[in-house]
């Protein structure tokens, strides 16, 4: 993966630096294999002061960025170039800057309105995809409360504004609006979804009508309705036509958001989506749909009073603020109308019916990390896991959000279906054998303990408990960790298709052995018995080694005592005079001492030290 050569390492020209957001920089390692002229081959140097989790995080980040950048394409590089050009353009003289930025903004607005069939619209470009809705709410407040500009929030006390949103809308969006606008949470009304007729992810229009009437009777002012053209979880579209009629009836503003708005650019769009062009505003995220990195979100809106738009922050008199449209302007220029439509169409045809919601949801009977496994097996699929209120945890395939970035092709979808067909039978058999695994583990208690881990998709988790008595807690924990670590290595060396591991990376259980998914032909009783037997063998061998160590230690102590005693006996036998350096030599020359060498042998089996006497004359 080619890494940018700039900036270079200070004091080492030509040595590239990788800047990673962990508070430090990493210069490339100076080794003979590090060819600095070849960007395809580069070694990273990590400081020894860095902890292992940070290094893993950096490597994972680099691989993730490299895999995604491979699919960015030229249009993505144009978007990135736009940010650099914006910095250069911002230093032009004021008059030239004003003319250029006005042209860029007007052209981009016109293209987007034509592309997404939103006539006579204006555009606001923003980094945070919620910021457009915040500005729209300020616009509506200024329009509905005539004295708001002079009196401020005091005028809201006469008639409290009410903002309506769907129960299946984006989590936290309403709270963010109230926080940014300074409104109490009582100004937010969450409308339930259908319970009898229609989709359970669509807003209940009849109930919304009832809630609006109740608020008007209570002296409140229905202000704005947030509807979905593709809910964040299931991708369902509200009944936009009926909602627009209701908003017109009560003089409310209708704002739309959702992934299905992308299909407005197609030649054929469903009538439910076509009703979106009647809305008062809508937020688009072309960066996700077209695979453009660091491209602003866009809110299209219709309003005739430019002064109110300026007061709400939807327009700006500062030319530099208009340069936010430049990356998207360049990308649209590069792709052209046909290129944009082709990318959106490619994402929609990856699902079976391109005219319906381009989102596919499915779930297993019980969530077993199916989404994570599919994403590991087919990374280009972009599978993710969503939590729905009624359905629970589901696996989602939403190509409009991921296909352009990951480069998803029809072959990836076919691989996804194939892997799913392989996983489901294995997951089913694993679910059926879980209870048997639990019962078999309990039969080997207390040496083998079953560990409850609901998030683990495999057969289960166990822990081998050593049966040693009379040891303190610290020693017991060390013994527990040592035995289970060795047991895991032994299990991984077995000739089997079953995967044994330490479990999830950020799991709460320690010193456990996690058993992966199994097929229906696995003998659970034999599997548990193998785990228990191996654990017992490791414990016994460790105990034997400890006993042997203790015996050797005692033998060494005994030998030291015998050697000390032998030295004392030698001193008594030979006398003190023979121990003096010069006198002893003379005495030994005139009157040699007949002595024997006494060695020591250690009987490991008996644990005793034996004396062995060897006469010097024999040698």
Q: pLDDT tens digits, residue range 229-274?
A: 988 888 889 999 999 999 999 999 999 999 999 999 988 888 889 9
pLDDT given for residue 129 in this prediction: 92
Which helix H or strand E contains 531, and what residues bound it?
A: helix 524-574
Domain-embedded: residue 609: no
Q: Distance between CA atoms of 163 and 133, rounded to whole angstroms?
A: 11
Q: Distance between CA atoms of 115 and 266, rounded to whole angstroms?
A: 9
Domain-embedded: residue 557: no
pLDDT in tens, 121-132: 999 999 999 999
Q: Distance between CA atoms of 123 and 539, rounded to whole angstroms?
A: 71
Report which DSSP code applies to 144. H
pLDDT given for residue 153 in this prediction: 83
Cis peptide before 201 (omega within 30 of 0): no
Q: In sequence order, what are the beta bridge partners of 395?
A: 362, 385
**Do residue 442 and residue 385 come from a single domain?**
no
**Do residue 287 and residue 142 come from a single domain?**
yes
Quote the Cα angle for 545-546-548, to 5°: 65
Domain-embedded: residue 595: no
Domain-embedded: residue 510: yes
**Do residue 88 and residue 226 come from a single domain?**
yes
Q: Distance between CA atoms of 51 and 191, rounded to whole angstroms?
A: 49
CB environment 514-537: b (16+ within 10 A), e (fewer): bbbbbeeebebeebbeebbebbbe
Q: Distance between CA atoms of 312 and 496, rounded to whole angstroms?
A: 66
pLDDT given for residue 160 in this prediction: 93
Residue 466: name the closest of 374, 546, 411 by CA: 546
**Do residue 366 and residue 340 come from a single domain?**
no
CB environment 349-384: b (16+ within 10 A), e (fewer): ebbeebebbbbbbebbeebbbbbebbbebbebbbbb
Q: What are phi and psi of 254, to 5 degrees?
A: -110, 120
Domain-embedded: residue 159: yes
**Do residue 261 and residue 284 come from a single domain?**
yes
HSE of 241 in the Cβ direction (CA atoms, 13 Å)? 6
Q: Distance between CA atoms of 339 and 351, rounded to whole angstroms?
A: 20
**Do residue 180 and residue 82 come from a single domain?**
yes
Q: Collapsing DSSP states into helix, strand and coil, what is residue 106?
A: helix
Q: Distance between CA atoms of 464 and 387, rounded to whole angstroms?
A: 35
Q: Which of these three, 345, 363, 386, is where a domain ends? A: 345
pLDDT given for residue 1 in this prediction: 28
Are β-strands 513-515 and 500-501 bridged in parallel, bridged antiparallel, or unpaired?
antiparallel
**Do residue 384 and residue 448 come from a single domain?**
no
**Do residue 116 and residue 82 come from a single domain?**
yes
CATH number for the domain that contains residue 473 = 3.90.1150
Domain-embedded: residue 374: yes
CA 436 to mean position of chain CA atoms: 33
CB neighbours of residue 417 within 10 Å: 12
**Do residue 212 and residue 299 come from a single domain?**
yes
Cα–Cα distances (Å) from 211 to 168, 190, 242, in that order, read 17, 10, 15
Q: Distance between CA atoms of 528 and 518, rounded to whole angstroms?
A: 13
Domain-embedded: residue 593: no
**Do residue 101 and residue 163 come from a single domain?**
yes
Which helix H or strand E contains 400, and what residues bound it?
A: helix 399-406
**Do residue 481 and residue 372 come from a single domain?**
no
The ranges of the chain with pLDDT < 50 are 1-42, 354-355, 615-619
Q: Which of these three, 300, 327, 345, is where a domain ends? A: 345
**Do residue 90 and residue 185 come from a single domain?**
yes
CATH number for the domain that contains residue 130 = 3.40.640.10
pLDDT given for residue 609 in this prediction: 56
State how many domains the chain has: 4
pLDDT given for residue 619 in this prediction: 39
CB neighbours of residue 277 within 10 Å: 19
Q: Which of these three, 407, 425, 443, is where a domain ends? A: 425
pLDDT given for residue 247 in this prediction: 96
Domain-embedded: residue 522: yes
pLDDT given for residue 574 in this prediction: 66
Which helix H or strand E contains 609, and what residues bound it?
A: strand 608-615
Q: Distance between CA atoms of 124 and 138, rounded to whole angstroms?
A: 13
Q: For residue 367, give its domain range.
A: 350-425
Q: What are phi and psi of 226, to 5 degrees?
A: -100, 115
Cis peptide before 7 (omega within 30 of 0): yes
Angle formed by the axes of helices 73-89 and 326-348, to 10°?
160
């Amino acid at each position: 993966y080619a890494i940018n050569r700039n900036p270079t390492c200070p004091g080492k020209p030509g040595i590239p630096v990788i800047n990673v957001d962990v508070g430090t920089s990493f210069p490339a390692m100076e080794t003979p294999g590090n060819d600095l002229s070849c960007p395809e081959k580069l070694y990273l140097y990590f400081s020894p002061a860095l902890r292992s989790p940070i290094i893993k995080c950096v490597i994972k980040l680099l691989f993730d960025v490299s895999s995604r950048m491979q699919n960015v394409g030229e249009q993505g590089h144009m978007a990135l170039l736009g940010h650099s050009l914006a910095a250069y353009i911002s230093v032009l003289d004021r008059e030239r800057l004003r003319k250029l930025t006005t042209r860029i903004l007007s052209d981009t607005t016109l293209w987007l309105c034509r592309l997404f069939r939103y006539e006579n619209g204006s555009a606001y470009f923003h980094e945070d995809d919620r910021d457009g809705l915040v500005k729209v709410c300020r616009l509506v407040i200024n329009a509905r409360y005539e004295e708001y500009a002079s009196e401020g929030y005091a005028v809201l006390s006469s008639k409290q504004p009410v903002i309506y949103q769907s129960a299946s809308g984006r989590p936290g969006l309403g709270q963010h609006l109230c926080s940014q606008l300074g409104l109490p949470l009582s100004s937010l009304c969450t409308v339930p979804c259908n319970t009898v007729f229609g989709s359970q992810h669509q807003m209940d229009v009849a109930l919304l009508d009832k809630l609006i009437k109740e608020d008007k009777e209570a002296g409140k002012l229905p202000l704005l309705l947030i509807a979905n053209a593709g809910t964040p979880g299931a991708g369902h579209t509200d009944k936009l036509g009926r909602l627009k009629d209701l908003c017109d009836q009560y003089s409310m503003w209708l704002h739309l958001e959702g992934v299905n708005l992308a299909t407005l650019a197609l030649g054929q769009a469903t009538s439910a989506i076509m009703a979106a062009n009647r809305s008062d505003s809508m937020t688009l995220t072309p960066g996700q749909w077209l695979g453009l990195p660091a491209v602003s979100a866009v809110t299209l809106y219709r309003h005739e009073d430019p002064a109110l738009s300026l007061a709400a922050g939807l327009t700006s008199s500062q030319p530099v603020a208009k340069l936010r449209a430049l990356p998207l302007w360049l990308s649209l220029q590069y792709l052209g109308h046909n290129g944009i439509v082709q990318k959106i169409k490619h994402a929609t045809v990856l699902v079976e019916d391109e005219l319906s919601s381009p989102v596919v949801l499915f779930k297993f009977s019980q969530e077993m990390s199916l989404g994570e496994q599919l994403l590991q097996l087919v990374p280009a699929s972009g599978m993710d896991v969503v939590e729905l209120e009624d359905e629970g945890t589901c696996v989602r395939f939403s190509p409009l959000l991921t296909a352009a970035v990951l480069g998803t092709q029809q072959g990836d979808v076919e691989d996804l279906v194939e892997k799913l067909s392989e996983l489901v039978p294995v997951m089913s058999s694993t679910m059926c054998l879980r209870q048997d695994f639990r019962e078999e583990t309990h039969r080997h208690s207390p040496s083998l303990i079953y560990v409850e881990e609901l998030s683990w998709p495999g057969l289960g988790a166990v822990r081998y408990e050593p049966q040693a008595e009379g040891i303190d807690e610290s020693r017991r924990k060390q013994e527990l960790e040592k035995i289970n670590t060795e047991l895991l290595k032994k299990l991984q060396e077995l000739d089997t298709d079953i995967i044994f591991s330490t479990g999830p990376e950020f799991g709460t259980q320690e010193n456990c052995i996690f058993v992966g998914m199994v097929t229906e032909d696995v003998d659970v009783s034999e599997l548990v018995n193998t785990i228990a037997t191996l654990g017992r063998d490791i414990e016994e061998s460790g105990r034997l080694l400890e006993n042997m160590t203790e015996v050797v230690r005692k033998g060494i102590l005994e030998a030291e005592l015998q050697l000390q005693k032998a030295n004392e006996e030698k001193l008594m036998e030979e006398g003190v005079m023979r121990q003096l350096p010069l006198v002893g030599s003379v005495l030994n020359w005139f009157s040699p001492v007949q002595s024997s060498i006494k060695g020591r042998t250690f009987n490991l089996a008996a644990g005793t030290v034996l004396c062995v006497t060897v006469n010097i004359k024999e040698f």
